Amino acid sequence: MSVVESRPLNEVVFLTVAEVAAVMRVSKMTVYRLVHSGHLPAIRVGRSFRVPEQAVHEYLRESYVGVESA
């Protein structure tokens, strides 16, 4: 169970796709691809998506690739 799932909804901070793109420094289309592929959880509000802020941080932490010296 992720941190997002274990927190009460009134404590979860949701970000727009544009805000996620700014945090990750990628395009909005990249965020949409991550959402549609299931790599980034999101909820649909009308015609737009909201992504839990903690989910963005978890995704970045899990995706981190350390550079090893040769």
59 lies in some domain: yes
35 lies in some domain: yes
Residue 14 — very low, low, confident or very high, per pLDDT cuts 50/70/90?
A: very high
Site of tokens 């970045």 = 60
Let me know: does 64 contact 50? Beta carbons within 8 Å.
Answer: no
Contacts of 63 (CB under 8 A, 6+ apart): none
Please tell me the least confidently modeled range out of 7-16, 20-29, 56-65: 7-16
70 lies in some domain: no
Task: Report the pLDDT value the prediction gives residue 9, as an integer from 0 to 100.
Answer: 77
How far apart CA 60 and CA 48 sit, in angstroms, is 22
Domain count, the chain: 1
46 lies in some domain: yes
Q: Which domain holds residue 42?
A: 3-63
Average pLDDT score over the chain: 89
Task: Give this prediction's pTM.
Answer: 0.80
68 lies in some domain: no
Residue 70 — very low, low, confident or very high, per pLDDT cuts 50/70/90?
A: low
Task: Report the pLDDT value the prediction gives residue 11, as an integer from 0 to 100.
Answer: 86
